[in-house]
Amino acid sequence: MSKLFRAVILGPPGSGKGTISERVASSFGLQHLSSGDFLRENIAAKTEAGVLAKTYIEKGALVPDHLMTRLVLPRLVEMTRHSWLLDGFPRTLAQAEALNSACELDVVISLNIPLETLKDRLRHRWIHPASGRVYNMRFNPPRVQGVDDISGEPLIQHEDDKPEALVARLRHYKDVAKPVIDLYRAKGILHMFSDTETDRIWPYVSSLLSAKIPTDRADAQRATTP
């Protein structure tokens, strides 16, 4: 990859951001940066920011902008030599504006998934906390029920995927996401995908990125073509 490529993936909880990001990372070699993973690392390490963030996540609330921005932006600054796909940030207009002042984005992918589909998926989502691997007891179950495929350790359900936190999260998402989507639409970098299945969305995301990401192979071909 010659020129660096910066992308963001937007979508409500359960829309498949993590699933699609993993596919993008393995197909295109982009670094997958997830705000949820950053938060979980900080919570596990009991950093000051992590302890504070946990109180919001448990209520199904968003972590305040200043705290999120303090956690995420330094991680992006470290990535000056990598192309990346940022998942879960920005979620609010204030976060989008902070990101704007830190870097220039090439593409924004926005996932538009029906509410009933989201509720159904999140009820069945289980994760391996140490690695962040995500399973769905119906869509992509682990080989052995309740156990991570690679480490053999037990899977858990996020506090915020449990029914009490879930409905509040989905309701709130819509309100705060709209100005963020509008901002990227106005910039002309928004690409919206609507469906109930990740497998049907993926080919479109893949061909968008194939067209947008400058690869070594394309450069090499250009260099050898007379």
Ligand X SMILES: Nc1nc2c(ncn2[C@@H]2O[C@H](COP(=O)(O)OP(=O)(O)O)[C@@H](O)[C@H]2O)c(=O)[nH]1
Q: Is 39 in the site for ligand ADP (CB under 6 A)?
A: yes
Instruction: Label the pairing between strands 125-128 and 133-136.
Output: antiparallel
Spatial distance between the Cα atoms of 36 and 41, rounded to a whole number of angstroms: 9
Nearer to ligand ADP, 64 or 214 (CB): 64
Nearer to ligand ADP, 96 or 213 (CB): 96
Q: Is 125 in the site for ligand X (CB under 6 A)?
A: yes
Is 17 annotated in a binding site? The answer is: yes
Of 163, 162, 20, 147, which Cα lies nearest the Cα of 87? 20
The binder of 140, among ligand ADP, ligand X, none, by C-beta within 5 to 8 A per type, is: ligand X
- Residue 2, token pair as written in the block: 């010659």
Q: Is 88 in the site for ligand ADP (CB under 6 A)?
A: yes
Which one-letter amino acid corresponds to residue 223? A
Is 157 annotated in a binding site? The answer is: no
Q: Is 62 in the site for ligand ADP (CB under 6 A)?
A: yes
| 142, 148 contact by CB (below 8 A) | yes
| 116, 203 contact by CB (below 8 A) | no
Q: How far is CA 118 from the centre of its chain?
A: 15
Which one-letter amino acid corresponds to residue 79? M
CB of 12 to ligand X, least distance (A): 7
Is 16 annotated in a binding site? The answer is: yes
| Helix ranges restricted to H, the chain | 17-28, 35-44, 48-58, 65-77, 93-102, 115-123, 163-187, 198-212, 216-224
Nearer to ligand ADP, 32 or 213 (CB): 32
Q: Rule CB under 6 A: which residues touch ligand ADP?
A: 13, 35-36, 39, 56-57, 62-63, 68, 88-89, 91, 95, 160, 169
Q: Rule CB under 6 A: which residues touch ligand X?
A: 11, 13-19, 121, 125, 134, 136, 138-140, 197-199
Q: List residues forming the annotated binding site.
A: 14-19, 35, 40, 61-63, 88-91, 95, 125, 134-135, 169, 198
